[in-house]
Each structure stands twice: as C-alpha cells, then as structure tokens.
Amino acid sequence: MRQILYNAAINEAMHEEMERDETVYMIGEECSQCVWGTSAGLSEKFGAHRIRDSAISEAAIIGSSVGAALAGYRPISYMMFADFMMCGADELLYKAAKWRFAHGGKVKIPLVVRAPIGGYSGIGAEHSQCMESWVWRTPGLKIAIPSNPYDAKGLLKTAIRDDNPVVFLEHKNLMGMEGPVPEETYTVPFGKAEIKREGTDVTIVATGYLVSVTLQVANLLQKEKGVNVEVIDPRTLEPLDLDTILASVKKTKGAIIVDEDTMRCGPGAEIGMQIMENAFDYLDAPVKRVAAKNYPIAGAYLEQFVLPQPQDIANAVAEVTGDSEPLNVAGRVATKGVF
C-alpha cells in the first residue's frame, strides 16, 4: 500500500468529497493557503467560491456555515488554530449543536469544523491547546481525533457526509507523519475504536498525537520490562466506543488515560469515570490519568513542564502494575514539535 503524509490524507479527503458533492465548500482565514499544508490544489481546482478565504472572524466563519448548512450546503469551517474556535463559541456550542434538537429534528446541520490542535512546538498558551473537553461537554456535537493518515482521511470523509455538526481535531505534530492509505475510496465509521496494540497487563486509552508516543513507550516496556500494554485509540470521543475500552480493562485489570487536554475536567476525567462506573470490580488499581497540568501552556523550554511527557506514561504504567522501578525512557522517546 502506498505511504502518504497526514496532511496529504486530509487534502485527499477534501478533494474527493468536493468532487463527489458540489454542496461541499470550505471557508476560513487563508484556508486557500493553509499553513499546515492541507489545502494544496484545492483553490485552483474548485475556485474561490468553494475555497473561501474569510475575514478574521471565527464567529462569522462558523455562523455563516451554520446558515449555509440549514440551506442545504455542507460547509467546512476552517480554524487556523483550534484555540481560536472559542471566538465562535456561540455559533458552535449553541447554534450548531442545539438547533436540530430545538427545531424538533426538522432541520439538519451538516457542518464540519476543522481545527488543528496541540502543543510540543513551544508556541505558547494561545496556540497550543487541545480543546476536546470544551466541545465534549456540549450535547449535539460529534468529535473526531485522527492519530494517523489512514484515520485522518477516512474520518474526515465520514464527517463531511454526516448530517450533524462534527468537530474534527487534527494535530499539528502529525501533519508530517507518513502512513499507509489505500488509493480506493473508504471511510472510517464514527464510534469504532481501534486496538493499536494488543496487550494483557494494562490498558492505555490514548488520543491524537499521544497515540504514537504511547506506542513507543509501550514497545520499550515490552522489550525491557516484559510489561505487555494494550493501547486503544477511540478515534472519536463523541460517539465513544466504551464497549471496546471496557472489554480491554476487564481483560487487563488496569486502566490509564493518556490525553493532551488538561487533567482537570479533561477526557481522562470523563473516560476514567466511565471505567469506574462500569468496570470497577475488575480493577486491580485505581484508574490513572496522564494529561496536561492545570496551567496555561508555557512557551518554549517551559512547555515540557505543563504538557504530558513520555516519562509520565512510563511512570503511570509502573504505578498501575505495582512496579516500584519505572522504566527510564528519557532521551529514548521524545516529543517532536512542528517548529
């Protein structure tokens, strides 16, 4: 199978869905030139009326998209950074999320909000956040977080075809990740987690960029400590494939949630509590979270003291499995930024 980059996979999904359906268009700040390299050739092929550069106003971008979706179009609202998404919070959290319910199911909101997330590039508090928890606590929004090129293309195609609003969180650090993507058409269904690595000793539920970091730590743990870690990527938080997570936890008797959002009220808190409510009797140790500290994300060198690190994952595995000597992964598993 051919190998392509994560940003190229997103670009292919856009090309294919815009060719398939003429109601699909994208709007955002300099979306025709996309700093993350996902827009190559789109403006030239589909024209400025379908790749629409907008004013610097997230409220206008998302608000106009909600109106267009109600009128029968399938807009893709593009945020240059996910951090800016909350400038259009009223349009996203109240209009897009609630209007189908508020109108008794008589209207559809086929809207995708594409938003690059994540840190590890030292670019500070307003350009490095993961916004899952902001979105997840709002009923009416679906959330996709692809961790590799295959999922990026398949999940985006599913999102564009969905009749409900979807927030598509693509990680900046993954844009240069290469992986297998078939040439034939495919989609990845929402609500179907993938077991990235089979294991028997402890379950790690990881999202986004931290899936690949977790897999590197898990491989070292297997090789040097004989600890067999099972790694699950939910792919979508809403809907969440809780059945796959619970089946794994019941097998391994241990659970760790690895996510880049804040530990306080983040995905780890939600997934961990669902495990406690549904599989408590199977656990040999309390559920452990690895996430960002409840601080603004510091810039440059100081960033590492806020965002979760590979050693935090190794330490969590040792704690849950009862190992008094955590594996030292410093310098062997590194987080790499895009700048």
Place of tokens 């995708």: 112
Nearest partner of 164 among 209, 119, 100, judged by Cα: 100
CA 195 to chain centre: 16
Residues acting as catalytic residues: 58, 127
HEC assignment per residue over the chain? CCEEEHHHHHHHHHHHHHHHCCCEEEEECCCCCCCCCCCCCHHHHHCCCCEEECCCCHHHHHHHHHHHHHCCCEEEEECCCHHHHHHHHHHHHHHHHHHHHHCCCCCCCCCEEEEEECCCCCCCCCCCCCCHHHHHCCCCCEEECCCCHHHHHHHHHHHHHCCCCEEEEEEHHHCCCEEECCCCCCCCCCCCCEEEECCCCEEEEECCCHHHHHHHHHHHHHHHHCCCEEEEECCEEECCCHHHHHHHHHHHCCEEEEEEEECCCCHHHHHHHHHHHHHHHHCCCCCEEEEECCCCCCCHHHHHHCCCCHHHHHHHHHHHHCCCCCCCCCCCCCCCCCC
How many C-beta atoms lie closer than 10 Å to residue 182's C-beta? Answer: 11
